[in-house]
Amino acid sequence: MTKKAGQSIVILTGSGISAESGLPTFRGSDGLWQGRRVEEVATPEAFEREPLLVQQFYNLRRAALQRVEPNAAHLALAALEREWPGEYLLITQNVDDLHFRAGSRRLLSIHGELRRARCLSCGADTPWMEDLTPDSSCPRCHEVGKLRPHIVWFGEAPMHMDQCLDALSQADLFVAIGTSGKVYPAASFVDFVASRPGTRRLELNQEATGNPRFNEVRIGPATETVQALVAELLA
């Protein structure tokens, strides 16, 4: 598929796309945090049991965003969005803001955003750049101690699913970039797309997932594979 009006592209990204910006992936060798797997920290039960520890996990990651920049892969996807003549949607599992800072706007963050906080009392989600502490108060209802990271934890419903499924049901090209395909429902997007005959399903990854639903796999660092793909698509 090259640049043609009417062709629809849906991209799914995971933490591998931000690895070359300096953010660790979840299941790589540097993926543990204080000896814990993400499955032990990113749950509502963990937050109830050890709120300070969970807040600290997200405070550190929110602070780390100040020290990193979008890389060539984020920038290439933003250019694709600007120049592609057909439908285009970028779905990210990442909670960093690197796609947005690179210029992507047709973007859905299905696992939430580090730079937002949500109030357990009034439900508002608001921009949040500082550390969250037990003394933080909600900018809308002013209750103290009710803010949590605006993050989708295990067992919680991912965001924007209707819009994702709408776009996936019309995709001519689906590209999964830098994701291990271990977390649902994002892991099943390729199955959903595969039910539409003729869809091109491409995986760009450092290590292949081995999922046979992809009909093309390109191995390499995202900065290289994504730039090459975007150049091909816009040629």
DSSP code per residue over 39-53: HHHSSHHHHHH-HHH
Using rule CB under 6 A, residue 70 touches ligand BJW: no
Using rule CB under 6 A, residue 184 touches ligand BJW: yes
Q: Is 74 a catalytic residue?
A: no
Using rule CB under 6 A, residue 205 touches ligand BJW: yes
Closest distance of CB 95 from ligand BJW, Å = 4
Number of residue whose CB is nearest ligand BJW: 16
**The only residue of 76, 90, 102, 151 in contact with ligand BJW, by rule CB under 6 A:** 151
Using rule CB under 6 A, residue 42 touches ligand BJW: yes
Contact (CB, 8 A) for 186 and 160: no
- CA distance readout (Å), 222 to 18, 47, 75, 225: 9, 33, 11, 5
- Which residue type is seen at 108? L
Nearer to ligand BJW, 7 or 233 (CB): 233
Contact (CB, 8 A) for 84 and 234: yes
Number of residues that bind ligand BJW (CB under 6 A): 37
Q: Which stretch binds ligand BJW (CB under 6 A): 12-20, 45-53, 122-130, 192-200?
A: 12-20
| Angle subtended at Cα 117 by Cα 116 and Cα 121, rounded to the nearest 5 degrees | 150
Contact (CB, 8 A) for 1 and 200: yes
Joined tokens for residue 123: 């439900």
CA distance 182 to 214: 15
- CA distance readout (Å), 25 to 21, 60, 100: 11, 15, 19
Q: Which stretch binds ligand BJW (CB under 6 A): 4-12, 120-128, 166-174, 181-189?
A: 181-189
Nearer to ligand BJW, 7 or 15 (CB): 15
Contact (CB, 8 A) for 21 and 71: yes
**The only residue of 93, 104, 109, 199 in contact with ligand BJW, by rule CB under 6 A:** 93
Nearer to ligand BJW, 14 or 70 (CB): 14
Catalytic residue of the set 111, 142, 150, 160: 111
- The set of catalytic residues is 111
- Residues near ligand BJW, by CB under 6 A: 14-16, 19-20, 25-28, 31, 38-39, 42, 93, 95, 111, 151-158, 161, 178-180, 182-185, 205-207, 221-222
